[in-house]
Amino acid sequence: SQTIHQWPATLVQPVGSPLSLECTVEGTSNPNLYWYRQAAGRGLQLLFYSVGIGQISSEVPQNLSASRPQDRQFILSSKKLLLSDSGFYLCAWSPGQASANEKLFFGSGTQLSVL
């Protein structure tokens, strides 16, 4: 069966420090991968998605970047965190070559606090 791992679960970082959040998927190949941010326990904002290794699409301009160095690994990074980067970050995957009717599978999330 497929599983998705996301870590760390919580992270407290000072303003201006770098960030690296990692997400890995097991039990499937060539998944579509996503990074979302959820502010204040409400709506989700799609940050990045990837349909293959090295293929990253950014939905909003911001202080963050994403990379996909391996088929089932998706990394969210920042060189210098801002206060506004605080939030709940969610990684998700869907089957590769997915059509619009495929559901997303979410990781358990990372609560990032920038102080």
Partner 1 sequence: AQSVAQPEDQVNVAEGNPLTVKCTYSVSGNPYLFWYVQYPNRGLQFLLKYITGDNLVKGSYGFEAEFNKSQTSFHLKKPSALVSDSALYFCAPSSSNYQLIWGAGTKLIIKP
**Residues at the contact surface with partner 1, assessed by CB under 8 A:** 6, 41-46, 49, 59, 90, 92, 98-101, 103-109, 111
For partner 1, the closer CB: 64 or 92 = 92
**Alpha-carbon distance 61 to 99, whole Å?**
26
For partner 1, the closer CB: 15 or 59 = 59
For partner 1, the closer CB: 7 or 18 = 7
Q: How far is the CB of 16 from partner 1 (least distance, A)?
A: 27
- Residue 35, phi-psi category: left (phi > 0), alpha (psi -120 to 50), beta (remainder): beta
**Alpha-carbon distance 71 to 3, whole Å?**
14
Q: How far is the CB of 68 from partner 1 (least distance, A)?
A: 17
- Angle subtended at Cα 91 by Cα 89 and Cα 95, rounded to the nearest 5 degrees: 160
Instruction: Give residue for tokens 């950014």.
Output: 58
